[in-house]
Structure 1
């Protein structure tokens, strides 16, 4: 029997390169993270109830049905992540250290509107489709398919994104990638775009993605907060028991990524086997 998977995609940070934020200053984020939560079709219908469970933890928000990680205080964020760690979902995040792009030969390319975002979407879908294929193989469910819903972003051309993936699918790239999206599982026509407020899956993806990036993006005092993501550690996708380059992918790779001691400790604790 065919197995359907549903991924909800949100981002943390921004694409800007004008002035990267330092402790005590304003500016653009030093990281851009793109993340997804992925569920089976059976669990997809449970997403609104999971979102409502989180909101029910906060009496002052009980009449709201719009969950935003940035509007939660520290204790609420911990509670939300603790609840999600018990749910049957997978987390996959791709995080780009923008500082490393500033000094690269490709900076002019990545400064183009939406280019970095599309680049991270590609990495994300490569990992999501690989996870779907592996899950279907293990469970002997027959062919698998993935449907991806993106949180609507101002100024993002989603038709352009579909055309980008159609170009890859049809083998019209000048440089072939090391990995590839599994086109037997994902069809660019299966991209959906929804407003954050109307899809519980997108709100849960916001929690998972933002929680992960809190362990990477320094706050105004120069510190990161690893507790949120580490509480959900068992939910990150794995390949051969490894989270790195599956449930969490760093760009550039870990051995070339400039990290401070707090960031490195966070990564080590998240990916340990």
Structure 2
């Protein structure tokens, strides 16, 4: 039924009522979503990949890999290991300062309490489905399906995400965000799954990707920025049509809003500059309300 699998996880939270740094007791400044995409023929190898990484972690006794619980050296080792796997990585990094107390009147119609998460998922899926659509046509001549596995860590349910898919498909491409499109030919509701990260090795890989970028640009929840972990993932960060000469900025690494609007600390910008974002960055997504 499918030729690809995408594992999706997040770092940070989707709260908008109170946000750091405006309030130190508020929700995280960032919400970062990641996708790890593998061919379906390698799906059975993913558990072995994670087990192999765990076996190489000295004095590590957890049954799962959780980036936030690793020390610096273990984080570097794990990210280096991910840079060698047969996968492609995508991240959407939303700096939420300009979304403080924002309410989306359209999204409020969705029967979901996670509208902001759902909305960012759309941005992620624009890139994942484009990649799968292009890659499958290149390989087989026709679009092939991708199975989507979400982490349940953020309280997401199958019914909530299905309702959101129905909503954006009903809208077509005339959506709140004008940039990009979802390639519906590669999606199928029956291939949408929600799991606890402990149940799926692929979700643990997605946790590493999302959390490494969170660590690269967060200065309030995890201390000083450290972009080394996210930079190590560069060999597998997706680029348009897998062209090495293409920058990852805007495709494999999507920043919202753009660098100019986000008003980041210089240390927060480093990882985005590394992946190809200049300061003067024109981004189609920045023309919509609130800059996101």
TM-score (normalizing by structure 2): 0.83
Where is the strand percentage greater, Structure 1 or Structure 2?
A: 1
Shift of 1:189: 3.0
Which residue does 2:16 correspond to in 1? 17
Deviations 1:209-265 (A, max 9, x none): 111121111146862110001011111111151211211111112342222111222
Q: Do residues 211 (structure 1) and 195 (structure 2) align?
A: no
> 2:28 touches 2:221 (CA, 8 Å); kept in 1?
no
Query: SS of 1:271's equivalent?
Result: coil
Shift of 1:136: 1.9
User: Can you give the 5+ residue segments of structure 1 that lack an aligned partner in the other structure?
Assistant: none
> 2:66 touches 2:207 (CA, 8 Å); kept in 1?
yes
Deviations 1:85-144 (A, max 9, x none): 0111111111111101127xxx02399631110001111111100011121233345331
Structure with the bigger RCO (C-alpha within 8 Å, sep 6+) is 1
Q: Could you tell me how far apart the structure 1 residues matched to 2:239 and 2:90 are?
A: 9
Q: Could you tell me how far apart the structure 1 residues matched to 2:263 and 2:114 are?
A: 24
Query: SS of 2:250's equivalent?
Result: coil
Shift of 1:25: 4.6
> 1:8 touches 1:148 (CA, 8 Å); kept in 2?
yes
Q: Do residues 262 (structure 1) and 267 (structure 2) align?
A: yes
Query: SS of 2:6's equivalent?
Result: strand
Query: SS of 2:38's equivalent?
Result: strand
TM-score (normalizing by structure 1): 0.88
Q: Could you tell me how far apart the structure 2 residues matched to 1:60 and 1:250 are?
A: 36
Q: Do residues 53 (structure 1) and 59 (structure 2) align?
A: no
> 2:30 touches 2:96 (CA, 8 Å); kept in 1?
yes
Which residue does 2:6 correspond to in 1? 7
Q: Could you tell me how far apart the structure 2 residues matched to 1:181 and 1:139 are?
A: 20
When residues 141 and 214 of structure 1 are mapped into structure 2, their CA distance, relative to the original with a 3 A threshold, is farther
Which residue does 1:87 correspond to in 2? 85
When residues 133 and 29 of structure 1 are mapped into structure 2, their CA distance, relative to the original with a 3 A threshold, is same
Q: Could you tell me how far apart the structure 2 residues matched to 1:54 and 1:24 are?
A: 38
Query: SS of 2:191's equivalent?
Result: strand
Shift of 1:20: 2.6
Q: Could you tell me how far apart the structure 2 residues matched to 1:176 and 1:24 are?
A: 28
Which residue does 1:232 correspond to in 2? 233
> 1:23 touches 1:219 (CA, 8 Å); kept in 2?
no
